[in-house]
Amino acid sequence: MQKDSFFMLNGLNTLDVPDLYSINGYIQSIKTVLEIPTLLDHLAINDEFSLILEILNRQDIDKDYIQLLSGVEPNTFLAPTNEAIQSWIKNNPDWQSIDDIPVHTLHNILENLLIPNNNLVFDNKVRDLVVTTMNGETYSIQIDYPRWLIRNENKNLARINISNIQAENGIIHQVDRVLLP
């Protein structure tokens, strides 16, 4: 690897001295001390989450979800992809963008995506699991190996595309739909 090579850790280009030879491999010297990212940090550095981050930062959101996702309490966040949010907006004829979504709808959605005080790790030992979101919605999470499926009381279904994005204060699971209450 060359020093000017593109090398990212936690969203930062931190390569200082590449390929320092060692008897049992190579060492990559970096410029900064690595900190474990928070849930909010992961959302900020992953392009697939730019729209959910935009929703979280809307000025009319009066609950501090940013604090929940950057605080110390462990939370599990079922983060919809940009594609999922765009599809949700497209399916509502009254909305053209995130700015058109009523604030009460966004509150319901955000609280439906957040499983508080829980660092819910999915692994091959977990088969069926019931969790309760911040707004009281109950989800059944089922394995259909190698996929994880989410169902709520209304039998709405979402797939977890990427699971177990571990953060300092919880975990993110990337979902392919906006989970409606």
Q: What is the pLDDT of residues 114-145, one digit of tens each?
A: 999 989 887 766 667 888 889 888 888 876 66
Task: Of 104, 143, 122, give the one whose Cα is nearest residue 151.
Answer: 143
pLDDT score recorded for residue 131: 86
Instruction: Give the DSSP letter of residue 161.
Output: E
pTM to 2 decimal places: 0.82
Per the CB < 8 A criterion, the answer to whether 43 and 69 are in contact is: yes
Instruction: Give the DSSP letter of residue 81.
Output: P
Could you give all domains of the chain from N- to C-terminal order, each with its CATH number?
A: 1-35 (no CATH), 39-175 (2.30.180.10)
Report the C-alpha gap between 147 and 99 in whole angstroms: 33
Percent share of the chain, pLDDT over 90: 44
